[in-house]
Amino acid sequence: MRTQVAIVGAGPSGLLLGQLLAKAGIDAVILERQTPDYVLGRIRAGVLEQVTIDLMEEAGVSQRMHAEGLVHEGFDMLYQGQRKRVDLSKWTGGKKVMVYGQTEVTRDLMAARAAAGLTTIYEAANVQVHDFDGKNPRVTYEKDGQSHEIQCDFIAGCDGFHGVCRASAPRNAIKEFEKVYPFGWLGLLSDTPPVHHELIYVNSPRGFALCSQRSQTRSRYYLQVPLTDKIDEWTDDAFWQELKLRLDPEAAANLVTGPSIEKSIAPLRSFVTEPLRFGRMFLAGDAGHIVPPTGAKGLNLAATDVKYLFDGLVEYYKDGSEAGIDRYSELALARIWRAERFSWWFTQLMHRFPEDSEITQKFQNAELDYLMNSEAGLTSIAENYVGLPLDFSRNGLLKSRP
Ligand code: FAS
Ligand code: PHB
């Protein structure tokens, strides 16, 4: 088989790239090692930045998102028993975010790809990437007991943190930066109405908590837990009891509990690969970087990588110019590092660390008190949370409000 772009991974990165390429008339085949149901069953991100919303529109898959997504103009920060609102729209000149689960984003992209009759090979085993240092890269895989080969112009490594593409990059050509956090997030999904109409980020002496949502009738909650915790140790009752202990009295009283429909513990890490290009193979999304989910950046960073890569590939195929693909890694990494910094900073501010002493809680409360009562502080949080503009200039002054 031959295609122009072989995409490894049918998560949001691979599917969004495939959809954008298809709309631009560029042929792509997607290889995915799992089944569609397995991919949809992974409960992950919940908040879309404006840039991601715009990309869903550009990809022609935004109809259900606009119909069912929840537009949010702010969120609450709960610390020292007090809840303060970050008015995103006020501090960014009207920008907002959309609460719409990654599962739904993936479902919309899968449906569009299937409806267009585009090739996605699920349950592709032993995917391997070859000859990407030359002009004729290849991808091989096994399916139904047969070995297959795809010849292509480019390989897009959209295969996540544990994928094969980054692992196949020459070790002397890659540098990896990593910080692993000494705790995890225990997430619970329930068909219960959200405790509040907006998200609540909690810094409590007992640990971080987050009250999020998927719809008016489906909620997503997180608790910071030790890395040694096992999911079987957490009954639903234990989860709800601990969440109430971390919330303020009003939220604790309003919390509607119910049976979990999904419960999992995710580790937290900051991770970046440099560069994101190896000859004719590019890394995009979690294949190239990971952020702690505190800043709701993971899915959104994946989307902006895809946009930068897509624009470069269009320039190559339409104008015969390699300038866009040559610039991809540098352009994407500039935005990635700013999101990594925000996600790290927000995680440090909101979580309990094993080495913390009482003074650290005092520092965190003082920083939160300053930020929540400072125009500069609120603007800084808001402009990072809604997402930096795609064309932000690393040298120019970032203007958040007109
Ligand atoms: P993905 O990992 O989603 O997709 C990669 C795909 O490649 C997978 O389907 C995988 O099966 C496939 N693959 C891997 N190896 C392969 C191979 N060798 N051959 C073929 N296919 C292969 N982000 C947020 O913004 N907010 C959150 O709350 C949040 N929570 C998260 C919780 C968890 C447990 C995890 C792991 C991530 C979370 N994230 C969150 C980040 C997450 O949303 C990612 O940013 C997002 O899934 C990135 O999408 P992809 O880059 O497509 O990677
Ligand atoms: C979620 O709804 O899953 C979510 C929302 C905001 C975050 C992290 C996760 O910062």
Q: pLDDT at position 393, please?
A: 59
Task: Calculate the CA 311 to chain-centre distance.
Answer: 20
Q: What is the dihedral of CA 247, 252, 256, 262, to 10 degrees?
A: 20
Report how far residue 158's alpha carbon sits from residue 164's, in angstroms, rounded to the nearest whole number: 10
Q: pLDDT at position 395, please?
A: 57
Helices 298-319 and 323-350 pack at an angle, to 10 degrees, of 170
**Domains of the chain and any CATH numbers:** 5-70+101-177+269-353 (3.50.50.60)
pLDDT band at 391 (very low <50, low <70, confident <90, very high): confident
Q: What percent of the chain has pLDDT above 90? A: 94
Report how far residue 202's alpha carbon sits from residue 80's, in angstroms, rounded to the nearest whole number: 9
Report how far residue 60's alpha carbon sits from residue 22's, in angstroms, rounded to the nearest whole number: 11
> Is the distance from the beta carbon of residue 160 to the nearest atom of ligand 2 less than 6 Å?
no
Report the side by side order of strands in the sheet with 70-72.
47-48, 97-99, 70-72
Residue 334 has pLDDT above 90, yes or no: yes
Report how far residue 330's alpha carbon sits from residue 333's, in angstroms, rounded to the nearest whole number: 5
Paired strand residues for 76: 85, 200
Q: What is the pTM of this model?
A: 0.95
Burial (0-12, 13-18, 19+ Cβ within 10 Å), 162: exposed
Cβ(196)–Cβ(76) under 8 Å? yes
Nearby residues of 249 by Cβ (< 8 Å), 6 or more positions away: none
Report how far residue 7's alpha carbon sits from residue 50's, in angstroms, rounded to the nearest whole number: 25
Q: pLDDT at position 389, please?
A: 82
Q: What is the mean pLDDT of residues 218-236?
A: 97
CA 293 / ligand 2 centre spacing (Å): 7
CA 395 / ligand 1 centre spacing (Å): 31
> Is the distance from the beta carbon of residue 286 to the nearest atom of ligand 1 less than 6 Å?
yes
Task: Give the chain's length.
Answer: 402
- The residue whose CA is least distant from atom 32 of ligand 1 is 44
pLDDT tens for each residue of 23-40: 999 999 999 999 999 999
Cβ(86)–Cβ(77) under 8 Å? yes
- The residue whose CA is least distant from atom 24 of ligand 1 is 45
CA 305 / ligand 1 centre spacing (Å): 14
pLDDT tens for each residue of 185-198: 999 999 999 999 99
Ligand 2 pocket test: which of 72, 88, 186, 210 has the largest number of ligand atoms within 8 Å of its C-beta? 210
The two beta strands, 120-121 and 74-79, are unpaired
> Is the distance from the beta carbon of residue 285 to the nearest atom of ligand 1 less than 6 Å?
yes
- The residue whose CA is least distant from atom 6 of ligand 2 is 296
Residue 74 has pLDDT above 90, yes or no: yes
Backbone angles phi, psi at 337, to 5 degrees: -65, -35
Backbone angles phi, psi at 215, to 5 degrees: -165, -175
DSSP designation for 229 = -
pLDDT tens for each residue of 121-176: 999 999 999 999 999 999 999 999 999 999 999 999 999 999 999 999 999 999 99
Residue 253: count of CB within 10 angstroms of its CB: 10
